[in-house]
Amino acid sequence: MGAGKVLILIGALLTLVSTFFLAFYEAAGGDLGSGLGFIYNIADIMANPGNYVSGQTMTVYIVAIVYIVFLISGVLQLLGLASRVFAIIGSAIVLFASIMMLLVLLNILPVYADYITLFEQPAIVPGILPYNLPIGSMGSLGTYTLLAGGILGFVGGILGTKDY
């Protein structure tokens, strides 16, 4: 197995674990931001978008669709084992989402803070799922492993999937 495939595989696994098993951040009320939280919120987001960001109904719908694509980006990275295009596209989505989340959490882009609240949900199994390991005031472990998965998948996609 070539270096590109190995990096894509590691990146995809990191992305999937980060998205579905780790928390990205802990909200003020104790809720956790995670991919699972977004899955639980999808029906309510589509039914009541004004509850999340007032006056921005269409924008909430567009952001929700982008987040749905983000949820499947780990699978796109796995498809990248066969075609490097999927690895690059899936990794680019992960990189964009994780960088935007970090910029909001670091208060560099506070304007978009309402849009990451779409990920917030109480823990499914407190202390276990999603697992939250805070890293100071800069988010949680899931945000950084998500970023690492995006970087590894992107580099692997650029290197290619050929076995030499």
pLDDT digits (tens, 9 = 90+) for 34-89: 999 999 999 999 999 988 888 788 999 999 999 999 999 999 999 999 989 999 99
Instruction: Give 28's pLDDT tier (boundaries 50, 70, 90).
Output: confident
- The end-to-end CA distance of the chain, in Å, is 8
The answer to whether residue 164 is domain-embedded is: no
Size (the chain), residues: 164
The answer to whether residue 153 is domain-embedded is: yes
Q: Which residues of 107-127 are buried (b: 16+ CB within 10 A; e: fewer)?
A: eeeeeeebbbbbbbbebeeee
Of residues 103, 86, 94, the one with CA closest to residue 17: 94
Residue type, 84: R
The answer to whether residue 37 is domain-embedded is: yes
Residue type, 4: G
The answer to whether residue 121 is domain-embedded is: yes
The answer to whether residue 28 is domain-embedded is: yes
pLDDT at 164 over 70: no
Instruction: Give 145's pLDDT tier (boundaries 50, 70, 90).
Output: very high
pLDDT at 151 over 80: yes
Burial (CB count within 10 angstroms: exposed 0-12, middle 13-18, buried 19+), residue 14: buried
| 95-142 confidence digits (pLDDT tens) | 999 999 999 999 999 999 999 999 999 999 998 999 999 998 788 999
Number of domains in the chain: 1
- In this predicted structure, what is the pLDDT of residue 2? 85
Q: For 140, phi and psi rounded to 5 degrees?
A: -130, 175
Q: Which domain holds residue 113?
A: 3-159
Across the beta sheet with 25-26, the strand order is: 25-26, 32-33, 120-121
pLDDT at 161 over 90: no
Distance CA 99, CA 81 (A): 24
